[in-house]
Structure 1
Amino acid sequence: MERVSEFEDEKLRIRELMIDDFPDVFHIGEEIFTAEFSQSLYRTWDEFEITTLFNSDNELCLVAEVGGKIQGFALGTTVEKRNSPWKYGYLIWLGVREEAQKGEVGTRLFNEIKRRMKDQGARMIIIDTSADNEAALSFFQKMGFKDRQEHVFLSLNLTRRTKKPRKKKP
């Protein structure tokens, strides 16, 4: 069921991602998910993020558009763990053009993907974000996420030169 609301004198429409949307979604993600924004991103934004999810869970790949222009996207999947009675929704990427971030685009995308995950039997939605991404943390808290879990994430930059220990002369 398509839900429509006012957005700057035009209608905001949430719909499933189509192949023709790939370039717009890719470029929005490219603007948002940069190495400068989060240098320790363990997942990097690339064209495979869209195609992989589209091919496996296309009903959980959504776009928000106004007047035919894509303003944002949500890409997710569901996960069933062996020996667990629970099915999890995993919101992997949620991106909104900078100029549309103060509107309801992100909220509408999230609400629709949450509804779809619940319809698919998910009992919980999981997201992850950088601990210093205050905007994302605030947004997800407004969406009802309360059980914030801290975890340790280590990285090793293999492009930096390290000093080799000097051998002692006899």
Structure 2
Amino acid sequence: MTEASITSEDTPRIREMEIDDFPEVFHIGEEVFTVEYSQSLYRTWDEFEITTHFNLDNELCLVAEMGGRIAGFALGTTVKKHNSPWKYGYLVWLGVRRDIQKGSVGSRLFHEIRRRMVEQGVRMIIIDTSADNLAAINFFKKQGFGDIQEHVYMSLNLTRKTRKKSVKKS
């Protein structure tokens, strides 16, 4: 049996993620969220990201199928802040196979997750990406996002030995 090929001319079918989709979704994430692409995303992408979001809000865990294969995925959630009338949507992950990223898969996934969030009462969708990830920034601008805010990401490696400054006794 040969694996079905995906071409950019195929129309993706968007559906809710199923447990059997986890391995393929994970491998797409491994392909897309590499250390070369984004060091911080590479550090946080693992199989627990999929299972956590699926268990938290499976209606906002979507896949795009094309040619009998998963072509991309979106993982989102909603947040209701205490003492706020607003419900926020957070699109945590959106990944599309590298060989078809210029097609409509990402846009169709986004439009479906947006539709579902609106149905759930979301008034604002939030995404985040690296400030130098121009492809993602341009993609989300095309989807209507604005008000770009840069943020600082810092890390502390706890496996490195650090020198403690000695304090002199008087």
TM range (shorter): 0.7 to 0.9
Query: Once the 2 structures are TM-superposed, how far is the Cα of residue 17 of structure 1 from its aligned partner?
Result: 0.2
SS of 1:73's partner is strand
Query: Once the 2 structures are TM-superposed, how far is the Cα of residue 127 of structure 1 from its aligned partner?
Result: 0.3
1:87 has 2:87 as partner: yes
Superimposed CA distance per residue, residues 100-119 of structure 1 (whole angstroms, 9 cap, x where no aligned partner): 10100000000000000011
Q: Is the 8 A contact 2:89 2:126 kept in 1?
A: yes
Amino acid at match of 2:39: Q
Query: Once the 2 structures are TM-superposed, how far is the Cα of residue 36 of structure 1 from its aligned partner?
Result: 3.1
Superimposed CA distance per residue, residues 131-170 of structure 1 (whole angstroms, 9 cap, x where no aligned partner): 11111011001110011122233222334455566899xx
Q: Is the 8 A contact 1:40 1:155 kept in 2?
A: no
Of all paired residues, the percent bearing the same amino acid is 73
Superimposed CA distance per residue, residues 45-82 of structure 1 (whole angstroms, 9 cap, x where no aligned partner): 11110001111100000000112100000000000000
Q: What's 1:119 paired with?
A: 119
Q: What's 1:156 paired with?
A: 156
Q: Larger relative contact order (C-alpha < 8 A, sep ≥ 6)?
A: 2
Amino acid at match of 2:93: W
Consecutive unaligned residues in structure 2, runs of 5 or more: 1-6
Query: Once the 2 structures are TM-superposed, how far is the Cα of residue 43 of structure 1 from its aligned partner?
Result: 6.1
Q: What's 2:68 paired with?
A: 68
Q: What's 1:38 paired with?
A: 38
Amino acid at match of 1:156: L
TM-score normalised to the size of structure 1?
0.87
Q: Distance in 2 between matches of 1:96 and 1:30?
A: 11
Amino acid at match of 1:81: K
Q: Is the 8 A contact 2:28 2:72 kept in 1?
A: yes
Amino acid at match of 2:25: V
Q: Distance in 2 between matches of 1:10 and 1:37?
A: 26
Query: Once the 2 structures are TM-superposed, how far is the Cα of residue 39 of structure 1 from its aligned partner?
Result: 2.0
RMSD (Å) for aligned C-alpha atoms: 2.0
Amino acid at match of 2:124: M
TM-score normalised to the size of structure 2?
0.87
Superimposed CA distance per residue, residues 11-52 of structure 1 (whole angstroms, 9 cap, x where no aligned partner): 420000001100000000011112332223496011110001
Q: Is the 8 A contact 2:33 2:42 kept in 1?
A: no
| Aligned counterparts, 1:46-65, within 5 A | 46-65=46-65
Q: Distance in 1 between matches of 2:42 and 2:158?
A: 14
Q: What's 1:131 paired with?
A: 131
Consecutive unaligned residues in structure 1, runs of 5 or more: 1-6
